[in-house]
Chain A
Amino acid sequence: MFWQIDLAILTLVVVTAVASLMVKDLLGAAILFGAYSFLMCLLWSIMGAVDVAFTEASVGAGVSSVFFVAAVFRTSRRTKD
């Protein structure tokens, strides 16, 4: 039961990381980055690192996504890259 969850969440982590770098809309990249952070937090909870998971949940999936959205709001939203 253990390694199946591990492998599934690791695959999802790689998928969200690649997706957040490929979309052409910067707001979508910011939100996908928040999802990537949250999946990392789940991985660390499985490994037993509860303090690290707590910090990543509040910092990565919370405050860091808000910083990205605020910065995208002040600059342009589309990119050709």
Chain B
Amino acid sequence: MKIIGLIITIVTGAFLVYAAADFPAWADPNSPASTYLSPYFIENSMKDTSVPNFVTSLLADYRGFDTMFETTVIFTAGLVCFILLRISGRKEPETSHYRHVLTGVTVTLKEGRKIPASEDFERIDDLWTPPDLIIKTGCRLMIPFIQLFGLYVIAHGHSSPGGGFQGGVILGASIILLAISHDLRTALERMREKVVAILCPVGVAIYAGTGTLCLLLGVNFLDYSALASVLHVDPIAARSHGIFMVEIGVGIAVMTTMIWIYNNISSAGKYNQGL
């Protein structure tokens, strides 16, 4: 297999090198990619949508259809992870470990028996280490600020680098940090499995719902200038607000998908212990 792989790689590489000889020079302002459509977008983006970040206005307004289906693809990937891992055919009897807090004695219960929640016994994982005060306190202090920064990135996608995707990933990463520094069960108490699974299509629905609202108001799908009559602003500012609404939808969908995939992979579908 290695010889075949080497031959295929060398042949493909030779073809690509031969094709790259035709490429325009590095950083040429007159290359075909920079003179075909992008001058129109750069020159008219401020006039049409009053959003200074050209990438955001391109992503959510001029190429908004693309982004809607991309959000659907992300949701589908989270759904596939859930179906592959969470629904298993075999029912294995679970062993759970409990630790008596005062004396440090570990109790192992087989075949799915559980101790009801009480103050004396705490549930521990298979690979248990004593809780580290520095990591727990540090992460507890940092997580609200990370979430605040994520919300800032979503809201300031108009005038600085950022937007829905980046902010959504940062928000998801804050909950994953809670799951890593404390316990998977602690993170599941904060953000339950059902809430995560329901919020994911809600994000996609916010995006598609904005487009359908424009359709119901009488113009094309995802043409945000129709929102001017709903929000009582002029059409250019309505496009800016439409972009903000769909960015919120994208942010929610991406955040919940990251949390969902992490929950499923790190517990192999069983949701009892994590990393």
Residues of A with Cβ closer than 8 Å to B? 50-51, 53-55, 58-59, 62-63, 66-67, 69-71, 73-74
- Tell me if B180 is interfacial: C-beta within 8 Å of chain A: yes
Identify which of B96-104, B107-115, B257-265 touches chain A: B257-265
- Tell me if B135 is interfacial: C-beta within 8 Å of chain A: no
Contact of A70 among B53, B56, B170, B265 (CB under 8 A): B265
The reply to whether B275 and A70 form a contact with Cβ atoms under 8 Å apart is yes
- Which residues of chain B in 260-275 are interfacial with respect to chain A, using CB atoms and an 8 Å cutoff? 261-262, 265-266, 268, 274-275
Which residues of chain B come closer than 8 Å to A62, judged between CB atoms?
169, 173
7 examples of A-B residue contacts, CB within 8 angstroms: A51-B163, A51-B166, A54-B162, A55-B165, A55-B166, A58-B169, A67-B265
B203 CB, nearest partner CB in chain A, Å: 17
A75 CB, nearest partner CB in chain B, Å: 9
Select the residue from B163, B261, B266 with max chain A CB neighbours within 10 A: B266
B11 CB, nearest partner CB in chain A, Å: 20
The reply to whether B265 and A74 form a contact with Cβ atoms under 8 Å apart is yes
Bound form: Cα–Cα A54–B274 in Å? 28
Bound form: Cα–Cα A50–B161 in Å? 6
The reply to whether A66 and B162 form a contact with Cβ atoms under 8 Å apart is no
Bound form: Cα–Cα A51–B53 in Å? 10
B52 CB, nearest partner CB in chain A, Å: 13
Select the residue from A50, A62, A69, A70 with max chain B CB neighbours within 10 A: A70
The reply to whether A63 and B275 form a contact with Cβ atoms under 8 Å apart is no
The reply to whether A66 and B170 form a contact with Cβ atoms under 8 Å apart is no
The reply to whether B261 and A67 form a contact with Cβ atoms under 8 Å apart is yes
The reply to whether B173 and A74 form a contact with Cβ atoms under 8 Å apart is no
The reply to whether A51 and B55 form a contact with Cβ atoms under 8 Å apart is yes
- Which residues of chain B in 50-106 are interfacial with respect to chain A, using CB atoms and an 8 Å cutoff? 53, 55-56
* Interface pairs A-B: 7 shortest CB-CB: A70-B266, A50-B161, A58-B169, A51-B55, A70-B265, A54-B166, A51-B161
Contact code string B140-171 (vs A, CB < 8 Å = 1, else 0): 00000000000000000000011101100110
Which residues of chain A come closer than 8 Å to B266, judged between CB atoms?
70, 73-74
Bound form: Cα–Cα A59–B255 in Å? 11
Bound form: Cα–Cα A43–B176 in Å? 27
Bound form: Cα–Cα A63–B176 in Å? 9
A62 CB, nearest partner CB in chain B, Å: 5
The reply to whether A67 and B162 form a contact with Cβ atoms under 8 Å apart is no
Which residues of chain A come closer than 8 Å to B261, judged between CB atoms?
67
The reply to whether B265 and A71 form a contact with Cβ atoms under 8 Å apart is yes
Task: Return the chain B residue nearest A75 by Cβ.
Answer: B268
Bound form: Cα–Cα A34–B196 in Å? 26
A8 CB, nearest partner CB in chain B, Å: 17
Additional A-B contact list (11), CB under 8 Å, known A51-B56, A63-B169: A50-B161, A51-B55, A51-B162, A54-B166, A63-B173, A66-B176, A70-B262, A70-B266, A74-B265, A74-B266, A74-B268
Bound form: Cα–Cα A51–B165 in Å? 10
